[in-house]
Amino acid sequence: MKSDYTGYDVLEKWNTPSFDHTTRAVLTARLHAIPQRRFFTEAEWNLLEAIVARLLPQPERADPIPVTPWIDEQLATGRGEGFRHDNMPAMPAAWRAGLASIDAESHRRCALPFVALAPSAADAVLRAIAANDVAAALWPTVPAQRFFIDILLKTAAAIYYSHPDAWSEIGFGGPASPRGYVRLGFDERDSWEGKERR
Amino acid sequence: MSAETPRAVHGRAPDVFRSGGWIPMKDYAQQEPVDFAIVGAGAGGATLACKLAESGFSVVVFDAGPFWRPLDDFASDEQEQQKLYWTDERITAGDDPIALGGNNSGRGVGGSTIHFSMISLRFRPEWFKCRSQLGYGVDWPLSYAEIEPYYREAEQALKISGPVDYPWGPPRGRYPYREHEMNASGLVLARGAERLGIGWASTPLATVSAPAGKSPPCVYRGFCNFGCSTNAKQSALVAWIPRAIRAGAEVRDLAMVGRIEMGAHGRASGVHYHRAGRWQFQAARNVVLAGYAIETPRLLLNSATAQHPQGLANSSGLVGTHLTTHAGPGVWASFDEEIRWYKGPPNMAVSEHWNYVDHGKDFHGGYAFMSQGPLPRAWSQVLTTSRYLWGDALRREMMKYNHMAGLVPVAETEPRPQNRVELADELDQYGLRIPRVVFSYSENDRRLQRHAVDFMSRMLIAAGGRDLWHSEDTSHILGTCRMGDDPSASVVDSDGRCWDIPNLWICDGSLFPTCGGVNPSLTIQALACRIADRMGTLAQRGEL
């Protein structure tokens, strides 16, 4: 996907007054300390990787923004959003059940495991799940649409858009302490903000 | 960046204004009753602790979360700053289950004011008597005239930056600090309002536009909802806590109060709290709950005894009921101009038009609405959960980030008994029953939101927006231990004193009989200032 902010890299501000020590420490970990698999089984991990590749396809990146490792890390450390719907089990169980149901849905529709699907077939399976067009018997533990939208997709998008490469891609200013911004009005841009090229 | 070991110990507390700094703090004995044990150090509890300590009372205030030093602990990063939220497990239920967690909670000294939007609006005066004067809801046991001096006090303490003339409500003095320069996101609201011929204003904000004490002026970095790393924001941690400690209050961080102890003569005798890995007890002559509208009723219900089988202060059966929230259906549009709504506080422009106009409505109640400035992580979650976008469609839509603007109301909902906080059977890490929050909109709530969405859509189109769509959300939780004049129809009186237990008090958003159409933090702080004054008066009369 082509960015409107080609040539803009948030990380070039690393040694400027837009970055402070605290933020640099947090981003160093995000960029370089990618968690190892602890929570998911190897099969679950591979399935989730295949799903994430459809939710946030990054064919243009040699080094795609990692998503699966951070989902695993959240579940391994028990950090959640702080609430769950009363028709949902606790997060660890919801994730395992939801992934299993997606794979079951793939078998039902395509007679193949999800990881073996071509991109267009994988997208069709996920579109059906997002629309709650599923076989209820394959979703005994979590409601299909709610798991797909409110847990899987919402979590994956949050992780992707917490990565500096995603900030650069959309022209977000990124970290801004202590310098902040000066020019706030319509079509105004500080020199340390990304320039749009349309 | 974990701070999960208590910092406020051994007679000192973190200095919020100095990297690695400390300030001296009183260290009260646990067995010797303090005048007030306050549960929760947010907008209600921190304000009250400050005012009571400055009046000479001995005060210990407990918070379940950490005592942050913003200069050291707050990164410019949405993901990292999720640590500011209350993420202990809760269950959400009802026809319109409320998103909890980051949406409406805080865990840490300062409470949710650490990440609030700083919008500091007064209630419309009639809302305190909305049943008698506007024909809906329920009257408060207070009048605007009684609370007005405390609004002024809170606005002064927070050095609210706002316009010289605020267009709505009775005449008042100018705000303590000048209004901030408007960002493009706010200018969209202004342009739409002027084209539709309604009023708008620079939002009165609790972030300073010029130096105040040790707070530097706001630099418009835009991470306000993720903690202010410069201390421009006048959170309770910055505005009230240092004053409270200087006046002799003790703050105990990472101290989760799990049960109120009942003593002789039907009075509370102290609180049991979990800190540093064990349960401890603090004796107190008065106990004040300021844990916000979920934790406060939860603690009352979890403190049930043989004499109080349905929970403390609950002879009316109303503890946990009449929960209100602010509906927040958002309308969003694309613009030709670059908006770059990540710059500046997220809600710099406001219109309270529909809070103060009563004709032409097919609903009771009101709403303010504000310009918006979501950061990318939060924005991606709006797109995924509202429009179910994923794949290339999501990435393409996110690419419009710098050309988006939107409006979100703070829309009143009706207090109804079936909307409530109750206890689930599941236990948390402390062995306490977790809360279950049940919420459904009424027909009136839905009509109000339809009106808001229609009106805000017209305004965005008038401002030059295109490709409109809308989202759903809520903010704030209020009203679960409401105040009133009648012990059978309320939990506490107009001083926040429980009808059933004379030395048990409540001082937070749970008090609100109705929620009005504005953000609650200024009203919570004004109520806390008033309650502190009333406690002083009652003490002088020997009536505490």
Quick: pLDDT tens for B289-333.
999 999 999 999 999 999 999 999 999 999 999 999 999 999 999
Which of chain B's residues have a Cβ under 8 Å away from the Cβ of A119?
Answer: none
Of B415, B540, B399, the closest CA to residue B479 belongs to B415
The answer to whether residue B2 scores a pLDDT higher than 80 is no
Q: Is there a contact between B89 and A26 if contact means CB atoms under 8 Å apart? A: no
How far off is chain B from A178, nearest CA to CA, in Å? 7
The answer to whether residue B135 scores a pLDDT higher than 90 is yes
pLDDT in tens, B516-527: 999 999 999 999
The answer to whether residue A96 scores a pLDDT higher than 50 is yes
How far off is chain A from B219, nearest CA to CA, in Å? 5
Which of chain A's residues have a Cβ under 8 Å away from the Cβ of B91?
Answer: 83-86
Number of domains making up chain A? 1
Which of B74, B184, B384 lies nearest to residue A184, judging by beta carbons?
A: B184
Which of chain A's residues have a Cβ under 8 Å away from the Cβ of B392?
Answer: 1, 57
Token readout for A7 is 């040539």
Which of B78, B230, B340 lies nearest to residue A177, judging by beta carbons?
A: B230
- Residue B4 has a pLDDT of 84
- Residue A143 has a pLDDT of 97
Which of chain A's residues have a Cβ under 8 Å away from the Cβ of B100?
Answer: 81-83
pLDDT in tens, A159-187: 999 999 999 999 999 999 999 999 999 99
How far off is chain A from B372, nearest CA to CA, in Å? 14
In a domain, A187, yes or no: no
How far off is chain A from B295, nearest CA to CA, in Å? 13
- Amino acid occupying residue B315: S
- Residue A80 has a pLDDT of 87
The answer to whether residue B530 scores a pLDDT higher than 90 is yes
Which of chain A's residues have a Cβ under 8 Å away from the Cβ of B385?
Answer: 149-150, 153-154
Token readout for A118 is 């071509």
In a domain, A139, yes or no: yes
Which of B93, B100, B220 lies nearest to residue A181, judging by beta carbons?
A: B220
Token readout for B374 is 């979501």
Average pLDDT, chain B: 97
How far off is chain B from A116, nearest CA to CA, in Å? 18
Average pLDDT over every residue of A10-22 = 98
The answer to whether residue B352 scores a pLDDT higher than 80 is yes
Q: Is there a contact between A180 and B221 if contact means CB atoms under 8 Å apart? A: yes
Average pLDDT over every residue of B149-153 = 98
The answer to whether residue A87 scores a pLDDT higher than 90 is no
The answer to whether residue A117 scores a pLDDT higher than 60 is yes
Which of A81, A187, A188 lies nearest to residue B87, judging by beta carbons?
A: A81
In a domain, A2, yes or no: no
CA distances from B307 to B257, B265, B269, B512 (A): 21, 12, 15, 27
In a domain, A176, yes or no: no
Which of chain A's residues have a Cβ under 8 Å away from the Cβ of B394?
Answer: 55-56, 157
Of B45, B32, B22, B18, the closest CA to residue B288 belongs to B45
How far off is chain B from A57, nearest CA to CA, in Å? 6
In a domain, A71, yes or no: yes
Q: Rounded distance, CA B79 to CA A182, Å?
A: 25
Q: Is there a contact between B219 and A179 if contact means CB atoms under 8 Å apart? A: yes
My answer on whether omega of the bond before B66 falls inside 30° of 0, hence cis, is no
Which of B105, B392, B398 lies nearest to residue A82, judging by beta carbons?
A: B105
Token readout for B241 is 């806590």
Which of A79, A130, A170 lies nearest to residue B398, judging by beta carbons?
A: A170
Which of chain A's residues have a Cβ under 8 Å away from the Cβ of B90?
Answer: 82-84
Beta strands in B225-316 (DSSP E): 250-252, 256-262, 268-275, 278-289
- CATH class label, B12-540: alpha beta
Task: pLDDT band for B173, please (50, 70, 90 cuts).
Answer: confident
Task: pLDDT band for B3, please (50, 70, 90 cuts).
Answer: very low
Q: Token pair 């080609």 is at which residue? A: A6
* Per-residue buried b or exposed e for B166-195, using 16+ beta carbons within 10 Å of the residue's own CB: bebbeeeeebbbebbbbbbbbbbbbbbbee
- Residue B1 has a pLDDT of 38
Which sequence spans correspond to the domains of chain B?
Answer: 12-540
Q: Rounded distance, CA A94 to CA A71, Å?
A: 13
- As a whole-number percent, the residues of chain B with pLDDT over 90 amount to 98
* Per-residue buried b or exposed e for B55-77, using 16+ beta carbons within 10 Å of the residue's own CB: eebbbbbbbbbbbbbbbbbbbbb
Candidates B74, B402, B403, B474, partner chain A, best to mutate (most A CBs within 10 A): B402
- Amino acid occupying residue B2: S
pLDDT in tens, B42-71: 999 999 999 999 999 999 999 999 999 999
Please check whether residue B107 is in contact with residue B292, taking contact to mean a CB–CB distance below 8 angstroms: no
- Amino acid occupying residue B100: L
Average pLDDT over every residue of B20-49 = 98
In a domain, A180, yes or no: no
How far off is chain B from A41, nearest CA to CA, in Å? 25
Give backbone dihedrals phi and psi of B261, rounded to 5 degrees, phi first.
Answer: -90, 135
Beta strands in B174-265 (DSSP E): 201-202, 250-252, 256-262
**Can you state the percent helix, strand and coil of chain B, rounding each to 5?**
30, 20, 50
- Residue B536 has a pLDDT of 98
Name the residue in chain B with its Cα closest to that of A146: B385
pLDDT in tens, B378-403: 999 999 999 999 999 999 999 999 99
Q: Is there a contact between B340 and A173 if contact means CB atoms under 8 Å apart? A: yes
Q: Token pair 């911004």 is at which residue? A: A181
Which structural domain, as residue segments, surrounds residue A142?
41-167
Name the residue in chain B with its Cα closest to that of A150: B385
How far off is chain A from B263, nearest CA to CA, in Å? 34
ipTM of the complex: 0.98
Alpha-carbon radius of gyration of chain B:
22
- As a whole-number percent, the residues of chain A with pLDDT over 90 amount to 96
CA distances from B410 to B233, B321, B400, B467, B519 (A): 21, 21, 25, 23, 7
Which of chain A's residues have a Cβ under 8 Å away from the Cβ of B224?
Answer: none
Candidates A14, A182, A186, A196, partner chain B, best to mutate (most B CBs within 10 A): A186
